[in-house]
């Protein structure tokens, strides 16, 4: 995997959600959110960790190792379930183990990709990170999951698409190394939402028309008014809650947000390419990973995709790759999806 200093750790909860909790939450909620935000900002200032190159015995076989941080911030923690071992009865351990495996199987079975780096990178994960930690992240070496605070966020292993989202940052980093700011950063986030959603659809064997297209379903605790963190089909509608506010994602370029926050709005403006993917996938029908997903995968692996690509550059490449792998009809469906969101 490449390790450009421009790349930073990715975390699934956007800073604007944490800031909102700090402004409107109860004292314990604010404390948890502040602690998480300080940690996220510290992580963002660090370069990617170098992965330990452990190659799986055979392509097509995942190598997992789940650790328990026991509510500390020491990584990786104590090894509690290695590849092939039985459950230890901890639901977070089992979810991490299972969903790391599903994500590996998805990339292998759908695109013949041997783990995140294409070379059989082992997939370690740590659960029970810190106390009330409201996030999950991939640090270049491993997955890390907080337990949430139970009032706003449930445990972060609960949502398979969040696991898929975070691991997919490893694929994007390995292939495209997209700069994590502005439109290239929003594409980086969107690619993780695309593949995170596809991991879930693949796991549930859902066709594009049956999928919920929600990122982080089940992550919001009882009493929070929302379905998840983001909606790919209708950006801006995932939640509307007194504590969290209203989902700020735009659905097309008319609503594009110019901001310095969140690395130039990477978690906000990702709604635009997210919706383009949803439109292409539902227009093409069937299993979204087989056509629309393959086009997006080919594009992230396309050597002509520059690290600072904007929406238009990425969109043009998806149209080209759709024609190359499939045919003019698929390319046209992809083009129309980008036109609908105002990119082309």
Given the residues 63, 95, 166, 175, the one annotated as active site: 166
Beta-strand relationship, 136-138 and 143-145:
antiparallel
Identify which of 163, 136, 179 has the alpha carbon closest to the alpha carbon of residue 62: 163
Virtual torsion, Cα 105, 48, 163, 73, nearest 10 deg: 130
Active site includes 166? Answer: yes
Distances from the Cα of 308 to the Cαs of 146, 191, 195, 246, 305, in angstroms?
31, 14, 20, 30, 8
Active site includes 63? Answer: no
Given the residues 39, 165, 169, 267, the one annotated as active site: 267
Encoding tokens for residue 178?
A: 């997209």
Contacts for 296 with CB less than 8 Å, ≥ 6 apart: 191, 194, 195, 277, 318
Identify which of 292, 249, 239 has the alpha carbon closest to the alpha carbon of residue 271: 249
Q: Any idea which residues carry the catalytic annotation?
A: 166, 267
């Amino acid at each position: 995997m490449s390790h450009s200093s421009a790349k930073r750790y990715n975390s699934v909860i956007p800073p604007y959600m944490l800031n909102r909790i700090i402004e409107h939450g109860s004292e314990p909620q604010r404390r948890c959110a502040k602690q998480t935000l300080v940690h996220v900002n510290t992580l963002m200032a660090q370069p990617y960790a170098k992965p330990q190159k452990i190659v799986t015995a055979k392509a097509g076989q995942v190598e997992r190792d789940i650790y328990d941080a026991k509510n500390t911030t020491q990584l990786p923690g104590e090894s509690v379930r290695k590849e092939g071992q039985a459950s230890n009865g901890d639901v977070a351990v089992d979810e991490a183990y299972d969903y790391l495996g599903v994500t590996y199987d998805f990339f292998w079975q759908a695109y013949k990709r041997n783990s995140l780096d294409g070379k059989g990178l082992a997939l370690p994960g740590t659960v029970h990170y810190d106390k009330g930690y409201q996030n999950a992240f991939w640090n270049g070496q491993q997955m890390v999951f907080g337990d949430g605070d139970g009032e706003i966020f449930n445990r972060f292993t609960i949502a398979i698409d969040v696991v898929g989202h975070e691991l997919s940052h490893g694929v994007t980093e390995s292939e495209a190394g997209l700069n994590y700011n502005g439109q290239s950063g929003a594409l980086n986030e969107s690619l993780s939402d695309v593949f995170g959603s596809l991991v879930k659809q693949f796991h549930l064997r859902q066709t594009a028309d049956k999928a919920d297209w929600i990122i982080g379903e089940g992550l919001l605790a009882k009493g929070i008014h929302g379905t998840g963190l983001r909606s790919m089909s209708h950006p801006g509608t995932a939640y509307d809650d007194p504590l969290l506010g209203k989902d700020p994602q735009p659905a097309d370029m008319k609503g594009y947000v110019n901001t310095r926050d969140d690395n130039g709005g990477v978690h906000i403006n990702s709604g635009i390419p997210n919706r383009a993917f949803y439109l292409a996938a539902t227009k093409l029908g069937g299993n979204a990973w087989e056509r629309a997903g393959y086009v997006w995968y080919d594009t992230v692996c396309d050597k002509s995709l520059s690290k600072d690509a904007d929406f238009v550059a990425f969109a043009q490449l998806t149209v080209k790759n759709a024609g190359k792998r499939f045919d003019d009809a698929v390319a046209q469906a992809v083009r129309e999806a980008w036109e609908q969101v105002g990119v082309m």
